Amino acid sequence: MSVVLVWIIGAIVAGVLANNKRRNVGAWVLGSLLLTPLLVIILLVLPTLEDKKRCPNCGLWLKKEETVCRRCKKEQPDPAPVADIKKCPFCAESIKAEAVVCKHCGRDLPRDEAQQSFKPYEFK
């Protein structure tokens, strides 16, 4: 009975670890159930897969630089857009483009939208 318990706990731990390390959870859980919970130890020493993304269509893990899914041939959306960075005109520190107050020097920032909607013919 206790052996079965070890097996089940091992499979759960393998699942959690595999998820944390962005690996194939199903494969690791199944592997530790069918083979040995000692797979958890292997999983522990394996590095986290950082440069992977998941196809939103079929769930296949893809390399970050892949733009088309290998399995379903669906185009991949761009990775989470990085917040636009602009430079504070007062202290020249990098701040987010949406920022209205500089977090470094605390000064009010000129709004980009105002500049973009600037129309010369309004000043006839």
- Residues engaged in binding Zn ion (CB under 5 A): 55, 57-58, 60, 69, 71-72, 88, 90-91, 102, 104-105
* Nearer to Zn ion among residue 10 and residue 23 (C-beta): 23
* Nearer to Zn ion among residue 63 and residue 104 (C-beta): 104
45: CB partners within 8 A, 6+ apart:
none
Q: In angstroms, what is the minimal distance from the CB of 108 to Zn ion?
A: 10
Q: Enter the DSSP assignment of 95.
A: E
Q: In angstroms, what is the minimal distance from the CB of 49 to Zn ion?
A: 17
Determine the Cα–Cα distance for residues 8 and 28; give it in Å rounded to an integer.
12
* Nearer to Zn ion among residue 44 and residue 105 (C-beta): 105
Instruction: Give the HSE-up count for residue 3: Cα atoms under 13 Å, Cβ half-sphere.
Output: 1
The length of the chain, given as a count of residues: 124
Determine the Cα–Cα distance for residues 75 and 93; give it in Å rounded to an integer.
37
Q: In angstroms, what is the minimal distance from the CB of 26 to Zn ion?
A: 16
Q: In angstroms, what is the minimal distance from the CB of 106 to Zn ion?
A: 7
* Nearer to Zn ion among residue 104 and residue 111 (C-beta): 104
- Nearest partner of 105 among 80, 87, 117, judged by Cα: 87
